Amino acid sequence: MDEKYMKMFYISTLFLLTTLGTVLRAEQHEVHNFTDVVKLVSKSTIAIAIDAPIKHSSPRVLGTGFVVADGHFAITNYHVVSEDLDPTIVENYVVLSGQGSVVKKIRAEVVKIDPKHDLALLKLDSPLNALELGSEELMLPGSEVALTGFPIGAILGLYPATHRGYISAITPDAIPASNSNQLTIEMMNRLQNVSLIYQLDAIAYPGNSGSPLYSPTTGEVIGVINKVLVKDTKESALSSPTGISYAIPVKYVHNLIRDVKN
């Protein structure tokens, strides 16, 4: 092959490789488009509520949750469903799925709890679309994350809100105190048998309790939002959020589901 044809061959090969790379990048962008991931996650993100027609005209939203396993189960925080139901009236935990005023109400039963890690597993009367759970291995600080939930409940209707940030640290599961005088016995006891959780540089609000923390590229759940750092009062968390939130690693969700299946 002479020099002219060799040069044409190399140019053609380079063009084909460049074109292929552009196509692959476009396909990758399409598969991992963040707006598509949010849409997917939002379909499986639910509001956790108490339905008591005698007390309330509509279900009282307590927090957020998300659907797992075969679609018949949901995960939320234990503190969201720790309220005792009144046995003298018709009162049930329910999940609300949908958006705006078009909402499906499904009865739910708390079947397993993990108070130490602030998790609860609910069984649903009818199935919904489930999210995929990520690896049980801890993500590294600096990893990008997103969360979707209902930060102010259902005041304006159910409209899932999404926030994005990153894991800033992996820390012991103890509520921060500004000085030693604020440390309680409960907090000290927890430090004796500590679990590691994610500290996030991401905005969350009290209504986000139970929200899925997930990968913005795959939608796989990597944790569960369970608390936010509040500077003053609960109201200040809405008007002036600190931007510091905490999440329970997904490995404890895996454990909860395994316990039920076994």
Q: Is the pLDDT assigned to residue 190 strictly greater than 70? A: no
Pull the structure tokens for residue 112: 């397993």
In this prediction, residues 33-59 reach a mean pLDDT of 93
* CA-based torsion, 188, 192, 197, 199: positive or negative: positive
What pLDDT is attached to residue 156? 62
Asked if 75 and 121 touch (Cβ cutoff 8 Å), the reply is: yes
Pull the structure tokens for residue 205: 């609000």
What pLDDT is attached to residue 236? 45
CA nearest neighbour of 257 among 149, 94, 130: 130
What pLDDT is attached to residue 181? 55
What pLDDT is attached to residue 115? 92
Q: Of residues 189 and 6, which shows the higher confidence score?
A: 189
- Give percent of the chain with pLDDT exceeding 70: 72
What pLDDT is attached to residue 19? 46
Q: What is the mean pLDDT of the chain?
A: 81
Q: Is the pLDDT assigned to residue 29 strictly greater than 80? A: no
Poorest-pLDDT segment among 85-89, 122-126, 155-159, 209-213: 155-159
Pull the structure tokens for residue 140: 């590294």
CA distance 102 to 43: 13
In this prediction, residues 86-93 reach a mean pLDDT of 89
Residue in the structure block whose two tokens are 């209504």: 207
Asked if 165 and 201 touch (Cβ cutoff 8 Å), the reply is: yes
At position 172, the amino acid (one-letter code) is P
CA distance 173 to 59: 32
In tens, the pLDDT along 2-13 reads: 555 555 545 554
Q: Of residues 158 and 72, which shows the higher confidence score?
A: 72
Q: Is the pLDDT assigned to residue 169 strictly greater than 90? A: yes
φ and ψ at residue 108, rounded to 5 degrees? -135, 145
Q: Which pLDDT band, with edges at 50, 70 and 90, does 154 fall under?
A: low
Q: Is the pLDDT assigned to residue 20 strictly greater than 50? A: no
Q: Which pLDDT band, with edges at 50, 70 and 90, does 237 fall under?
A: very low
Poorest-pLDDT segment among 26-30, 93-97, 133-137, 198-202: 26-30
Q: Of residues 1 and 259, which shows the higher confidence score?
A: 259
Poorest-pLDDT segment among 116-130, 189-203, 213-227, 242-256: 189-203
Q: Which pLDDT band, with edges at 50, 70 and 90, does 187 fall under?
A: low
In tens, the pLDDT along 105-140 reads: 999 999 999 999 999 999 999 999 999 999 999 999
